[in-house]
Amino acid sequence: MRKERFIAWMLALAAMSALSGLALITAFIFKEGLPIIMKVGLANFVGSSDWYPTEGAFGIFPMIVGSVAVTVGAMLVGGVLGLSCAIVLTQFCPPKAVGILKPAIELLAGIPSVVYGFMGVVILVPLIREYLGGPGLSVLASSIVLGIMVLPTVTSISVDALQAVPREYREGSIALGATKWQTTHMVLLKAARSGIATAVILGMGRAVGETMAVIMVAGNTLDLPRSILDPVRTLTSSIALEMGYSSGEHRQALFATGVVLFVIIMALNVTALAVSRRRAGRRRAR
């Protein structure tokens, strides 16, 4: 009994240490970033396109647009491919092949992001420049690289969501004369839509927070992108590129950029958690 109580206290301490670390990071980011937001004004900081830190102009709107464009493009690539892989692995693939393909896809998550960026610079950027035009370093290049990076997250969670659908759904559909694809499309995907939505949202969080690979293939210009072939700068790229030499209000503005990024990612995570809880509630109701 005493031993179990000691283990419980140790586990509680470990959990509290993780929460304390998150609280300290949050407090530090907001402490450093909020003063410049209060001085400039949230509307000017978020809605202005003028980013001239040495002249006191702090507008991150082009970076927000860049982050949104790259993230949406990444989900069009990684979300579609990830869901397609999950459908094939759970519905149309032999068990032996699943035992090989699923670990191989999940292994992509362990590759350092700088490797993805390097492959994008060496292979993808020249192809875009030669066949589509533009500088090559662009929204399109960033979207493809990030799409491949979020593929393991979307695939793994989507597989779990599809496998969690009761077997009776599939068997009932087949018994009524539906084909395997009709069963997958009309029954399984609808039953697993909450889990698939969670996979997409978590993939978006992964994409919007990526730094190194985006720096290498995005081009990092402060102009608003008007085409997927235009270069772009994201919120994370701006922080990583300028933090090394910033000081004073410039440094505070970068922390304020981190505050905006923190709020975006936390909103995505809370949304994913809410969707997941709603799915669990529906299961209990059944």
Residue 159: CATH number of its domain: 1.10.3720.10
Q: Which pLDDT value is given to residue 88? A: 92
Domains of the chain: total: 1
For residue 167, being part of any structural domain is answered with yes
Higher pLDDT among residues 115 and 5, named by residue: 115
Q: What is the DSSP string of the chain?
A: -HHHHHHHHHHHHHHHHHHHHHHHHHHHHHHHHHHHHHHH-HHHHHH---EEGGGTEE--HHHHHHHHHHHHHHHHHHHHHHHHHHHIIIIIS-HHHHHHHHHHHHHGGGS-HHHHHHHIIIIIHHHHHHHT-S-S-SHHHHHHHHHHHHHHHHHHHHHHHHHTS-HHHHHHHHHTT--HHHHIIIIIHHHTHHHHHHHHHHHHHHHHT--HHHHHHHB---SPPSSTTS-B--HHHHHHHHTTT--HHHHHHHHHHHHHHHHHHHHHHHHHHHHHHHHHHHHHH-
The helix/strand/coil state of 135 is coil
For residue 75, being part of any structural domain is answered with yes
Q: For residue 45, which amino acid is it? A: F
Question: Is the pLDDT reported for residue 266 higher than 90?
Answer: no
- Cβ–Cβ contacts within 10 Å for residue 13, how many? 10
Instruction: Identify how many contiguous H helices and E strands the chain contains and give both numbers.
Output: 14, 2
For residue 206, being part of any structural domain is answered with yes
Question: Is the pLDDT reported for residue 286 higher than 70?
Answer: no
For residue 82, being part of any structural domain is answered with yes
Q: Which two tokens stand for residue 31?
A: 């402490």
Contact 209, 176 (CB under 8 A): no
For residue 203, being part of any structural domain is answered with yes
> Which range (8-17, 129-138, 160-169) has the least confidence?
8-17
For residue 281, being part of any structural domain is answered with no
Q: For residue 63, which amino acid is it? A: M
Q: Which pLDDT value is given to residue 19? A: 82
Question: Is the pLDDT reported for residue 285 higher than 80?
Answer: no
Per-residue model confidence as pLDDT tens digits over 271-281: 877 876 766 56
Contact 149, 207 (CB under 8 A): yes
Q: Which pLDDT value is given to residue 281? A: 60
Mean residue pLDDT of the chain comes to: 88
For residue 166, being part of any structural domain is answered with yes
**How large a percentage of the chain has pLDDT more than 90?**
44
Per-residue model confidence as pLDDT tens digits over 170-204: 888 888 888 888 888 888 988 888 889 889 888 98
For residue 30, being part of any structural domain is answered with no
Domain range enclosing 229: 64-235
Mean per-residue pLDDT for 130-134?
A: 90
Q: Which pLDDT value is given to residue 1? A: 67
